[in-house]
Amino acid sequence: MAKGSSKKGSNVSQKAETNSGNVYQANGNIIIKESETKPPDKTKWLSTTQSVVTILGTMVAIIIGVFITISEKLGCNTSKPTIVKNDSIDKKPIILITGIIRDRKTKNGVPNAYITSDINLKDTVITNSDGTFQFEASGNVGQSIRVYVQADSYHSRNEYHSLGLPIDIELDKR
């Protein structure tokens, strides 16, 4: 029988796929045709990976920059506490405490608010026109102190804070 002809008027042809290529069976002959596969392009993969890492790094840098800018605008001082004086080894150091009193809704500073602490009950500090304040307290960095705040037209408030860290207290209007 001639190549390409069929038995009894029908075409006998089968096709199968393997991992190494295509296998054809026609008229009793098996033909294996290797598929042409290209090796993966490693430079393209590397370039894509570098692009993704660059984008992620840029996004992290932007987020950190925004966080620092917002912290500065809110008056948060992230620097280490300032030790004002230490008269003797037996006494606790005197630490400068800074902070801000804000209106809870507007987030604006509350001027003329009265502040005392359980460390300095005899001393009262009044906030500046922008709601900021500072006072000295003796103690160790990280020690817990209780801060009491009163202001006209606001509910009084007291909170615990760590000595040496900036204080940010929000008050509710009456």
- Tens digit of each residue's pLDDT (9 = 90 or more) over 63-75: 887 777 776 666 6
Question: 82-171: which CATH number, 3.30.465.10, 1.10.3210.10, 2.60.40.10, 2.40.10.170?
Answer: 2.60.40.10
For residue 156, which of 89, 90, 110, 96 has the smallest C-alpha distance? 110
Tokens 């902070």 locate to 99
User: What are the C-alpha distances in Å from 37 to residues 21, 40, 46, 47, 48?
Assistant: 9, 9, 20, 22, 22
Helix (H) or strand (E) holding 94: strand 94-103
Q: Please say if the pLDDT value at position 133 is more than 90.
A: yes
**What is the per-residue pLDDT across 81-110, written as a single tens digit (0 to 9) for each?**
444 455 555 577 888 889 999 999 999 999
- Cβ neighbours of residue 68 under 8 Å, at least 6 residues apart? none
| Residue ranges covered by each domain of the chain | 41-73, 82-171
Predicted TM-score (pTM) of the model is 0.49
**pLDDT band at 168; cut points 50, 70, 90:** very high
